[in-house]
Chain A
Amino acid sequence: MKRIIALVLTLGIFLSLSLMANAAGISADEQKILDALKSEIQLKSSTYKLPAEYINQVENFLNANDLNSDEVNQILEKINEVKDIIKDVNARKISDIPSSVKKEIISLASEAANVVDLKLTVKSGNQIVITDSQNVVVFEANVNTSTPIKQTDTQMMGFVIVSLMIVGLAGLVVFKSIRLRNDRV
């Protein structure tokens, strides 16, 4: 009996994993999440739109994973809660939102991530990373210094030059001290 249960469980896990692996595309339900994220939020003197790079990351996640309507509804609920909070603050700009409210927003985003078994982590105050159950990054954003363009020069050459300079300096010091000793003799 135990073996049968184990077999059924293994088969269930295998099937759910394979379904996850093959799941792709965006359903009509999932599109609602993207539409909600793409819609503008009215502030006191301007409107705020979520940057395209954030929406693309969500879209990439939804392309790779299937969400059921219950999960979609729970996430939509959180998105709408965030929008309501921002409207209630009545800030001029998004940067004017008080940190207590920002924390509340982060908390709601974390709850939304938890709906689909994702984990939201805030690193060093500015960097937000969302990872899946295998610790794979599905979303990353640096609130202050966010740029899709990375540093692509190798720091190794600089490192080698500095190292050579230090070795040269050490050699010079040794040479000088030997010369000084010889002069005394």
Chain B
Amino acid sequence: MTVFNMLNIKKSKFSKKLMAFLGMPLIFSVIAYVLVYFFAQPLISPLLAVTNLAFSSNAGREVYSGKVFELVDIKEPVDETIPASSISFPKYGDQYARVCIEGTKVDTPVFFGDSKELLKKGAAQYIGSKLPGFGGTIIIGAHKTTHFKDLESVKIGDAVTIVTSYGVYKYTVNDLKVVDPKDTTAYDLGADHENLILYTCYPFNMMGFSKKRYFVYAEYTSGPVVDVSK
């Protein structure tokens, strides 16, 4: 046996020990974590939530869990002005509307606020954008694998309907774009005219981290205008 072969044997033994004492425990820990994550999460989540509630800095404080607004009947929208005092303004986490796009499968609840938790539940509105009827830019996003999966089917000219608790709003799609999420020129939150932006991650069929967003721009067509001074 040559020295080279002897060294090879030693190297082989070392790598085996390394695998036995470090590699395998690590691999099986990860596998166990994955299994626990997928199969036991529904059981563990409530327990974790209760623990967080008891030991967090908010312990003892009332925690708001969001409410579901009763939406108006879907009917032909009427152009009228309604006083702001007549509507109930949503809080962060409230399900206050529903968005649907004709000719697509997009039909999902809209939440006020866009945390990760809300994005799991439906379409989520950025709180720095305005509500329908308030004459500004409305930005709503949702996951490309669930609620906005069919956003790629949207075509220019399609009608978008947002049904809220105070009125039915119609918008017409006027542009489709793939943009960088950090591109602030892709939207104007200070706009003085009502417009809607729906977005999701892009490309649609790519798995993992998406660097781009697919924007659907729509202009206001009809729906009650909210008078904030009343």
Identify the A interface with B (CB < 8 A): 21-26, 51-57, 59-60, 63-64, 133-140, 147-159, 161, 163, 166-167, 169-170, 173, 177
Contacts and interface: CB of A to CB of B under 8 A. Distances in A.
Interface stretch (B126-134, B154-162, B216-224): B126-134
B127 A64 contact: no
Contact of A153 (B30, B90, B143, B189): B143
B160 to A, nearest CB: 17
Interface residues of B, number: 66
A166 B31 contact: yes
B124 A150 contact: yes
The B interface, classified by DSSP as helix, strand, loop or mixed, is loop
A24 B82 CA distance: 12
B19 A54 contact: no
Given A154-B145, A158-B209, A53 B189 contact: yes
B8 interface: no
Contact of A148 (B61, B62, B90, B139): B139
Contacts of A57: 127-128
A26 B85 CA distance: 9
B109 interface: no
Contacts of B190: 52, 55
Given A64-B91, A157-B145, A134 B34 contact: no
A163 B34 contact: yes
A53 B146 contact: no
A56 B129 contact: yes
Nearest to B213: A149
A126 to B, nearest CB: 15
Given A63-B228, A135-B58, A154-B146, A166 B189 contact: no
Contacts of A25: 83-85, 227-230
Contact of B181 (A139, A140, A149): A149
A173 B181 contact: no
B141 A169 contact: no
A166 B27 contact: yes
Nearest to A146: B128
Contacts of B145: 153-154, 156-157
Contacts of A59: 130
A182 to B, nearest CB: 15
A16 to B, nearest CB: 15
A133 B91 CA distance: 12
Nearest to A149: B181
B210 interface: yes
A147 to B, nearest CB: 6
B84 A152 contact: no
Nearest to B227: A25
B62 A134 contact: yes
Contacts of B34: 159, 163, 166-167
Interface stretch (B44-52, B71-79, B170-178, B199-207): B199-207
Contacts of A177: 16, 19
Contacts of B68: none
Given A135-B64, A137-B113, A157-B207, A152 B91 contact: no
A148 B181 CA distance: 8
Contact of A173 (B19, B136, B182, B206): B19
A153 B190 CA distance: 27
Given A54-B128, A148-B187, A63 B89 contact: yes
Interface string B142-168: 111110100000000000000000000
A47 to B, nearest CB: 15
Given A152-B210, A157-B207, A166-B31, 19 more contacts: A24-B85, A25-B83, A25-B228, A56-B127, A56-B128, A56-B136, A60-B89, A63-B89, A137-B113, A137-B127, A139-B127, A148-B129, A148-B139, A149-B139, A150-B124, A150-B141, A151-B209, A152-B148, A173-B27
